[in-house]
Amino acid sequence: MEITIKEFIKGAQEAQGVTVIIDVFRAFSTACYAFDNGISRLLDVATPEEAFALRDKLKAEVIIAGEQDEKKPAGFDYGNSPTEMLTGSLAGRTMIHCTTAGTRGIINAAGATEILGAGLVNAGAVASYISMIRPEKVTLVAMGYRAVETSEEDILCANYIKDLLEGRERDISKETEALRQGSGSRFFNPANLDFSPPTDFFLCTDLNRFNFVLRAVITAGGYAEVLRINMDH
């Protein structure tokens, strides 16, 4: 198994084989909590405009969640916040998800044979799934802060998955805790409280909380249908 780590949108565009798009803070953490709180369907888009257009087209009871530059865009029902997913009324709903880094990474991974979304909350499940299907090539794409700046948490998650795939299980609890003073410090800035609460930090760093994989399929409509694949067997 040849494992490559790449970054940002360019990394997603260059990715080959089974491709894992990694966004710990907060896209795929948010997606996992949304599934856990009962959404029936998850659709990823790249821009808010596409999110509104898709909602109009579906004509179903749809909610839109996500962010642009961390904040919830006008007209969205929820931000890109695991905390909001825990407390929101999501059961049985279709959720359209749009973020600056994570969902754009999914949409840009056109060269992948299979696309998975990962955060620390489901990293172990992702590694188990890949080990089960045994692909020749795996690309781990750390999306980074706003998809332009290397982020410690995404690189940590990429290396953790790589280690698991190579048969090494290491304790990353100290590195995870260190994120609180590093890239995760923004969650503790009072100015960000409305859109980026401190609880999001703890929810996003709850390692292997979920034993399921997010598998994305890009549709002819240009959006991605994200499926939950449980690893409980």
pLDDT recorded at residue 61: 83
pLDDT band at 58 (very low <50, low <70, confident <90, very high): very high
pLDDT recorded at residue 233: 59
pLDDT tens readout for residues 66-105: 999 999 999 999 999 999 999 999 999 999 999 999 999 9
Q: Mind listing the domains of the chain with CATH numbers?
A: 2-230 (3.90.1560.10)
Is the pLDDT at 171 greater than 70? The verdict is yes
pLDDT band at 192 (very low <50, low <70, confident <90, very high): very high
Is the pLDDT at 48 greater than 80? The verdict is yes
Q: Report percent pLDDT > 90 for the chain.
A: 97
Q: Report percent pLDDT > 70 for the chain.
A: 100
pLDDT tens readout for residues 115-130: 999 999 999 999 999 9
User: One-letter amino acid identity for 41?
Assistant: R
Average pLDDT rounded to a whole number, residues 165-191: 97
pLDDT recorded at residue 20: 99
pLDDT recorded at residue 59: 77
pLDDT, the chain, mean: 97
